[in-house]
Structure 1
Amino acid sequence: MAKESKKYVDNGWPQVANGDHAVTELSSSRSGGLSPFGEDTQFPVPVDTLPYVHPHTVVNR
């Protein structure tokens, strides 16, 4: 007798209210993937607003 496999559950799917749908390409105003940064982010972002600090390695000789 074959073992029954576990059903796949996508933990990355957002939780929405009962009757609502997660935003997908089918319910979007444009085709293609939506930006993970939101609709109001303009690129390129000014350098002074980025929280990036370039790593610097000191060689101990």
Structure 2
Amino acid sequence: MVNKSKKPYVDNGWPDVAEGEHAVTELSSTRAGNLSPYGEDTVFPVPAATLPYVHPHTVINRV
């Protein structure tokens, strides 16, 4: 017996845009491939002094 209760896949990741507009895709971009999630203004490598990273330090509880 076939399970027919399975719903079709819907991609919820596609952005909502105004009527007549298109989401930016590889076809409408200035370059081929993935676009940077950090924007066009970020230059890598970023100086380490500007990063908010704090290395974790574990204190071992020995009595």
Q: Under a length normalisation based on structure 1, what TM-score does the superposition of the two structures give?
A: 0.84
C-alpha root-mean-square deviation of aligned residues, in Å?
1.7
> Who is 2:24 aligned against?
23
Percent identity of paired positions between Structure 1 and Structure 2: 75
Which consecutive aligned stretches of 4+ in structure 1 deviate over 4 angstroms post-superposition? none
Aligned length: 61
TM normalised by structure 2 equals: 0.81
Cα gap change, 1:60/1:9 in structure 2, threshold over 3 Å: closer, same or farther? same
For the pair shown, the structure with the greater C-alpha radius of gyration is: 2
Which consecutive unaligned segments of at least 5 residues does structure 1 have? none
What is residue 33 of structure 1 aligned with on the other side?
Answer: 34
Structure showing the higher helix proportion among its residues: 1
